[in-house]
Amino acid sequence: MNKLPQTITEYVEATNAREPERAAACFHEDATVHDEGSTRHGRKEIAAWVAETGERYSATMEPTGLEETDGRHILRATVRGSFPGSPVTLNFNFLLRSGSIQSLEIKP
């Protein structure tokens, strides 16, 4: 697997540690997250999303692959938690800007 950019590594570590504020700090202030049919805008909503999904699913992610295409970093990760069908492989589509995450879209 290619080496993860530092910001993505920090995001994965903070999410696995269930540290919503630390995870949200990896994003630009005006960043967006698209997950499960909803969009979150800005660090405050992103921190709330990290906290909520962490409580609901007790999920952890293990990176298994990384591709860079058209300026996007697509991280494949095995996600395990308290949800039906666990574990699953998901694609985390990151757009980085100036060393921070500008957008993240999570897809199966």
Cβ neighbours for 43, distance < 8 A, ≥ 6 positions apart? 24, 25, 27, 29, 31
Q: What is the DSSP string of 34-96?
A: EETTEEEEHHHHHHHHHHHHHHHH--EEEEEEEEEETTEEEEEEEEESSSTT-SEEEEEEEEE
Query: Which domain CATH number covers 28?
Result: 3.10.450.50
Establish if 1 belongs to a structural domain: no
- Alpha carbon distance 41, 76 (integer Å): 23
Provide the domain limits for residue 83: 6-107
Establish if 51 belongs to a structural domain: yes
Establish if 35 belongs to a structural domain: yes
Establish if 63 belongs to a structural domain: yes
Q: In this predicted structure, what is the pLDDT of residue 26?
A: 98
Q: In this predicted structure, what is the pLDDT of residue 19?
A: 98
Establish if 98 belongs to a structural domain: yes
Q: In this predicted structure, what is the pLDDT of residue 1?
A: 63
Q: What is the tally of structural domains in the chain?
A: 1
pLDDT in tens, 12-24: 999 999 999 999 9
Q: Mean pLDDT, to the nearest integer, of 86-104? A: 97
> Average pLDDT over the chain, rounded to whole?
96
pTM of the predicted protein model: 0.94
